[in-house]
Amino acid sequence: MARPLQFERQKAIDAAMRVFWQQGYSASSLQQLLNAMQINRGSLYAAFGDKAGLFTEVIDNYQSRIQAIVIRLLSNELDPAKGIKDVFELTLLALTKDSLALGCLLVNTVNELSPIDSEIASHAAKKLEVVEQAFIAACERAQTLKQMTKEITPESAGKMLMTSMIGLRVQSRRGVETSDLRQSIVPLLNMLMPTLDKR
């Protein structure tokens, strides 16, 4: 009879996420992960297969918990412009916290692993595409409700907003002050959605 796993899976995944987020995939040794997760090697292999399997589950968990908030805000049917604005307000607020000041885990993963592990990098990139599509859908609704300029297509606007959100996290990681980041994003939002500054 197989011995049951003696650890809390979610707690272990959260601990592994912190290690990967702080150090990156390649620099995170198996022993560091085991120490952080407070499990032994056998339990890790039994639960996740290997380091790559663990990291894949960390990425899935990251999307389901952190990115789900962004998706929910962008799904605002009645006021998509507010939903878009709220995403950036949330991002700016979150940048004051240590975790998101490390940058987006998915973006970090794509940048680090694209040259060395295309499978994991592709998995992370697909998660980012989900958010980009949510931005595009929000822009389509905003244009329909005359909340967004039609000088730019919803697809282009959505991609621009996605790039800007990622850029905020990258710049924050470089040490740029949140107040300066806010000043850089507000003109873009007002350009795309002129009614925002009149609310």
pLDDT above 70 coverage of the chain, percent: 92
Q: Taking Cα atoms as reference points, which of 3, 177, 168 lies closest to residue 87?
A: 168
For the ranges 55-59, 100-104, 147-151, 174-178, the lowest mean pLDDT is seen at 100-104
Tell me the whole-structure pTM to 2 decimals: 0.86
Task: Choose the CATH number for 58-198 among 3.40.1410.10, 1.10.357.10, 3.40.50.300, 1.10.760.10.
Answer: 1.10.357.10
Q: 164-177, pLDDT tens digit by residue?
A: 999 998 888 888 88
How far is the C-alpha of 65 from the C-alpha of 59, rounded, in Å? 10
* Domain range list for the chain: 58-198
> How far out from the chain centre does Cα 199 lie?
28
Q: 71-115, pLDDT tens digit by residue?
A: 999 999 999 999 999 999 999 888 876 555 677 899 999 999 999
Q: Is the pLDDT of residue 3 over 60?
A: no
Q: Taking Cα atoms as reference points, which of 55, 175, 183 lies closest to residue 103?
A: 175
